[in-house]
Amino acid sequence: MEPNSETSAASAPETAAKEKRIYRCNGTPFTEAVAVVAHDFRNPPALGQAEYSQVQKVHEKFVEHLSARLATFLRLECTATLTKFETQPYRTFIESIESPAEVALLEIEPLLGVGVLNIALPLCHTMIDRMLGGRGNVTHVDCAPSEIEIALLEDAIAIMMEEWSQQWRSEKKLQCQCIGHDTSARFLKTALPDAVMVCAFVDVQLGTTQGQLQFGIPYSTVEPMVKEAREREARTGAQAIAKKPQWRASYNDIAVPVVAQWKAKEMRVQELLSLASGDVLPMDPDLIAQTHVQLANTREFIGLVGIQNGRIAVQLTKHLAIE
């Protein structure tokens, strides 16, 4: 069966383009619809599965601790949820930031590159109001913060970035600082348009105010940290394998109950109630070789019952954990 050289393009919307191929089997034509998927070869995936998982775990832990840090700092109930984590070209990430906005440019020493943090305006004004002693109930949220308000907001940004730095657990001491602010990300050029950005989108509920944090940092900035974390995990795993269990003298005095038993027979309740002293229960002779030995209430072995040195003994014949 081979596809016919005749191929026609089916008319469909741009969002769901399909191609219809005509096949022939024993002279009988039939068609198969194949979905056409666009692929941008100019922006191939820059992160492997291992690197992507490593960076994602760091940001998940960062979001888990962010709620407590902001709630303690602002003395206001706070909930943070990581709604989306992905890699994007710098151009795409910048275009996703709406204007007006509060865009903070972040420098993380000794790493290279500049990170971008966009804080939704409702969250900005709620944080500022709380730091000024207010209740955090802000109604006018369309205007960008003033220079004085931005100076106050930098304290909250420092708390966020300090928590982000701690999640890397690096041997290097990371120091984050704001090097600039802007009300629009349209003309920012902190990285090349096709540079791969690690992007985290966090929904924050701060009191009665809802908003989103958009955090993007070039992968080239965190790449040394990712390599360091993977090497650290590899060393830890190698040490765990090389370390052999050692017997301690204190284990000698631990008493472990040992029980040998058979599953002799199943009986009805009526038959069980009719049993009396002197009754004989028939047993299968094969049960002698099917003795179940329990260690600390856990069935571990099967053995054979016999006599040794005038005492009843069980010879272990099978370890149930090894099939």
State residue 285's pLDDT score: 79
Percentage of the chain exceeding pLDDT 90: 40
User: Are the beta carbons of 174 and 108 closer than 8 angstroms?
Assistant: yes
What sign does the dihedral 290-291-292-295 (CA atoms) show?
negative
CA distance linking residue 214 with residue 200, whole number of Å: 6
- The whole-number average pLDDT for the span 233-259 is 77
User: Are the beta carbons of 117 and 177 closer than 8 angstroms?
Assistant: no
Mean pLDDT rounded to a whole number for the chain? 82
In 3D, which of 123, 97, 108 has the Cα closest to residue 164?
108
Q: pLDDT, tens digit, for every residue of 77-125?
A: 999 999 999 999 999 999 999 888 999 999 999 999 999 999 999 999 9
In 3D, which of 76, 75, 147, 161 has the Cα closest to residue 117?
161
Percentage of the chain exceeding pLDDT 70: 82
State residue 138's pLDDT score: 81
Q: pLDDT, tens digit, for every residue of 149-180?
A: 999 999 999 999 999 999 887 767 889 999 99
b/e map of 134-152 (b: 16 or more CB within 10 Å)? eebebeeeeebbeeebbeb
Q: pLDDT, tens digit, for every residue of 13-29?
A: 444 444 555 555 555 55
Contacts of 159 (CB under 8 A, 6+ apart): 69, 70, 73
For the ranges 102-106, 259-263, 312-316, the lowest mean pLDDT is seen at: 259-263
State residue 45's pLDDT score: 54
Higher pLDDT, 105 or 43: 105
